[in-house]
Amino acid sequence: MTFDNAAPAAQDIQQLFDRIAPVYDDFNQQLSWGLHRIWKQMAVDWSGAAVGQTCLDVCCGSGDLALLLARRVGPTGTVYGVDFSPAQLAIARQKSARQFRLAPLHWVEGDALALPFADGQFEAATMAYGLRNLTNLTQGLKELRRVLKPGAKAAVLDFLQPQSAWLRQFQHWYLNTVVVPTAQNFGMTDEYAYIAPSVERFPLGPAQRQLALDAGFSSAVHYPIAGGLMGILVLTR
Ligand SMILES: C/C(=C\Cc1cc(O)c2ccccc2c1O)CCC[C@H](C)CCC[C@H](C)CCCC(C)C
Ligand SMILES: C[S@@+](CC[C@H](N)C(=O)[O-])C[C@H]1O[C@@H](n2cnc3c(N)ncnc32)[C@H](O)[C@@H]1O
């Protein structure tokens, strides 16, 4: 399956993440030199999640941020991770089974465009490397807002096209000359070749902020991180 610059259908995205589930965590660790853990922790910190709260990780995948949220809210809190990839959720369940003294963690198979949760259910939320993969960014942001309590925050971490031309060239080079050949060794060329065009399609910070405000968030601030290679959109309901 090849992913050209047209946005793939939801089913193609779901099947892509099912296929890469066995190598996903190891590739992220190896290809980001472990830095993805820092970026994810920043998103959890900036979500405002606190002890005892009920929190949500949207597009949770293999569960990294849901597990960080569970550590943050502690045994008196509750965390839900939602994703439409069964294979990714299976990895998340395996990882949470190996950890102790976490908040009660619920892994839910569901669609970010029609979240299976009540209005105002959550006191904080995260979404890491999910928004860019949605087939409808506005619907995803509206659903994220709907399930947050008034005044609650969400932190949305994703790739970002750097402003600097040479950093853009570096990002493009790294994704196509380091990431894709690594994936090729495991027969996952097309799956990882999808990243670069998806980043090119993804709105820049100011446009992400405007999408969030149009979706009804009372405030939205976009922070470039990692030299502008990544960004975190901090939203307030
Ligand atoms: C955790 C990261 C990416 C998650 C991710 C998101 C997607 O949309 C995918 C789509 C298809 C296949 C895989 C993914 C996917 O893994 C970020 C870290 C992993 C990246 C693959 C590495 C990219 C690093 C930066 C572009 C450059 C960092 C340079 C620095 C010297 C480490
Ligand atoms: C790149 S992974 C990110 C996983 C995790 N948040 C992390 O940071 O490692 C993107 C995830 O979004 C999920 N996803 C994409 N579109 C979705 C949708 N419409 N509903 C639910 N999950 C979706 C995929 O199944 C995949 O697990």
Fold of 10-236: Rossmann fold (3.40.50)
Q: What is the bridge-based pairing of β-strands 219-225 and 230-236?
A: antiparallel
Q: Is the pLDDT of residue 114 over 80?
A: yes
ipTM, interface predicted TM-score of the complex: 0.98
Task: Give residue 28 CA to ligand 1 midpoint distance, Å.
Answer: 6
Ligand that comes closest to the CA of residue 8: 2
Question: Does the Cβ of 128 fall within 6 Å of ligand 2?
Answer: yes
Could you count the other beta carbons within 10 Å of the beta carbon of residue 30?
12
Ligand that comes closest to the CA of residue 88: 2
- For residue range 129-174, what is the model confidence (pLDDT) as tens digits? 999 999 999 999 999 999 999 999 999 999 999 999 999 999 999 9
Cα Dmax for the chain? 47
Hey, is 76 helix, strand or coil? coil
pLDDT above 90 coverage of the chain, percent: 94
Query: How far is the CA of 162 from the CAs of 40, 171, 172, 211, 230, in angstroms?
Result: 19, 8, 10, 19, 8
